[in-house]
């Protein structure tokens, strides 16, 4: 097992707080990394809710986005410490399931945040952006922006990881659906036969990974005119690769996250559109659910008609397309994180 990264542990006792959990209730937050602004904001939300609810919170993270081994070790530690609940953004959707199953058998409430497990019902609940819809929005926007030229698009896909975690698949397949591409197997990307797809490459969600992936895809077809990325950091790297060959102004670029750096990229024109998600809300609701579980054993219910609790998503662009709901970068900056 890789060394656990204990990023923080806070203990709070809420004296006189109505409905708060008892002081000996513990909870864990396990994120993919501790440096990504998305997870930093998630941690802030968890800490604030833990203080409000009278919960002792322990926070752990992996060394990189797909470091599931550290997450499995963290789950074991949390169970051994007798926590009532675990919030986890799974590094690999299927790989952490055995640890989650063991925790649940021990009576621990496990809630996935942002990235569903595979299968999704391996967790007691999932609080997340509708990642498929997030992809649909940027796909519809890109198609609408191109207009009639969409039939001749040459699309680069800057995906997350070869293991294809659910969050990456959902965003990718959502984009294709919004753009009008037949997605074939909805649980995987890469099996499509649409000639508009130049190819898929993986980025680990990082700027350096995005740059390398874009360089690889440009080597396949230097005429790429649409670029999708799993997140804004990956697209930031992809943009640099385009800029290096003087193509940055004639390629439509989209991503998902809605962090403040990404929203500012919308404002300065280096990113065309992004779908904004709300990590603080995911974590705070998750802690509240653990407090309620500790109090009466009840478990959170999904949004009606969905297999998870939908924490919301909004398309951000300064070049709106008819029929695709969106907000401006100015509005997005009021809601962003990081």
DSSP state of 205: T
pLDDT of 286 > 70? The answer is: yes
Q: What b-and-e string marks burial along 295-318, b requiring 16 or more CB atoms within 10 Å of the CB? A: eeeeebeeeeeeebbbbebbbbbb
Fold of 131-276+313-333: Rossmann fold (3.40.50)
Of 197, 208, 265, 278, give the one whose Cα is nearest residue 241: 208
pLDDT tens-digit map of 155-203: 999 999 999 999 999 999 999 999 999 999 999 999 999 999 999 999 9
Cis amide bond preceding 109, omega within 30: no
Superfamily of domain 5-128+279-300: Response regulator (3.40.50.2300)
Q: Are 71 and 30 in contact (CB under 8 A)?
A: yes
DSSP state of 28: E
Query: Residue for token digits 């898929």?
Result: 200
Q: What's the gap between Cα 206 and its chain centre?
A: 13
Query: Residue for token digits 């040459």?
Result: 154
Q: Give the separation between CA 325 and CA 9, rounded to whole angstroms.
A: 40
Of 9, 18, 101, give the one whose Cα is nearest residue 295: 18
Please enumerate in sequence order all residues whose Cβ is within 8 A of that of 221, keeping only pairs 6 or more positions apart, or say none.
154, 198, 199
pLDDT tens-digit map of 55-95: 999 999 999 888 999 999 999 999 999 999 999 999 999 99
pLDDT tens-digit map of 234-247: 999 999 999 999 99
| DSSP helix/strand/coil, 156 | strand
Q: What is the DSSP string of 70-96?
A: HHHHHHHHHHHTT-SEEEE--SSTTTT
Fold match between 5-128+279-300 and 131-276+313-333?
yes
Where do the structural domains in the chain lie, given as residue ranges?
Answer: 5-128+279-300, 131-276+313-333
Q: Give the separation between CA 253 and CA 275, rounded to whole angstroms.
A: 12
Can you tell me the mean pLDDT for 230-237? 96
Q: Is the C-alpha dihedral spanning 44, 49, 52, 55 positive or negative? A: negative
Q: How confident is the model at residue 23 (pLDDT cuts 50, 70, 90)?
A: low
Helices (H) and strands (E) in the chain, counts: 10, 13
pLDDT of 17 > 80? The answer is: no
DSSP state of 151: G
């Amino acid at each position: 097992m890789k060394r656990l990264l204990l990023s923080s542990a806070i203990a709070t006792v809420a004296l006189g707080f109505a409905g708060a959990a008892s002081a000996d209730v513990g909870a864990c937050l396990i994120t993919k990394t501790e440096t990504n602004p998305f997870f930093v904001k998630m941690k802030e939300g968890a800490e604030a809710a833990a203080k409000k609810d009278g919960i002792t919170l322990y926070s752990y993270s992996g060394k990189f986005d797909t470091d599931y081994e550290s997450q499995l070790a963290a789950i074991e530690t949390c169970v051994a410490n007798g926590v009532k609940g675990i919030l986890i953004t799974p590094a690999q959707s299927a790989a952490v399931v055995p640890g989650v199953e063991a925790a649940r058998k021990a009576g621990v409430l496990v809630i996935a945040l942002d990235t569903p497990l595979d299968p999704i019902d391996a967790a007691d609940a999932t609080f997340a952006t509708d990642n498929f819809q997030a992809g649909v929005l940027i796909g519809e926007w890109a198609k609408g922006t191109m207009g009639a030229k969409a039939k001749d698009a040459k699309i680069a896909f800057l995906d997350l990881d070869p293991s294809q975690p659910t969050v990456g698949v959902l965003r990718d397949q959502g984009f294709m659906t919004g753009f009008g591409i037949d997605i074939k197997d909805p649980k995987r990307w890469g099996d499509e036969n649409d000639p508009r797809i130049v190819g898929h490459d993986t980025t680990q969600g990082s700027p350096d990974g995005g740059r390398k992936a874009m360089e690889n895809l440009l080597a396949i077809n230097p005429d790429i005119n649409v670029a999708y990325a799993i997140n804004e950091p990956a697209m930031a790297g992809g943009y640099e690769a385009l800029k290096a060959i003087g193509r940055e102004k004639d390629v439509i670029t989209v991503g998902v996250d809605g962090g403040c750096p990404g929203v500012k990229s919308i404002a300065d024109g280096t990113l065309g559109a992004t779908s904004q998600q709300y990590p603080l809300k995911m974590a705070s609701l998750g802690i509240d659910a653990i407090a309620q579980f500790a109090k009466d054993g009840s478990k959170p219910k999904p949004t009606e008609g969905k297999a998870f609790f939908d924490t919301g998503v909004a398309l951000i662009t300064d070049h709106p397309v008819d029929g695709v709901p969106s907000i401006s970068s100015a509005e997005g900056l009021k809601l962003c994180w990081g």
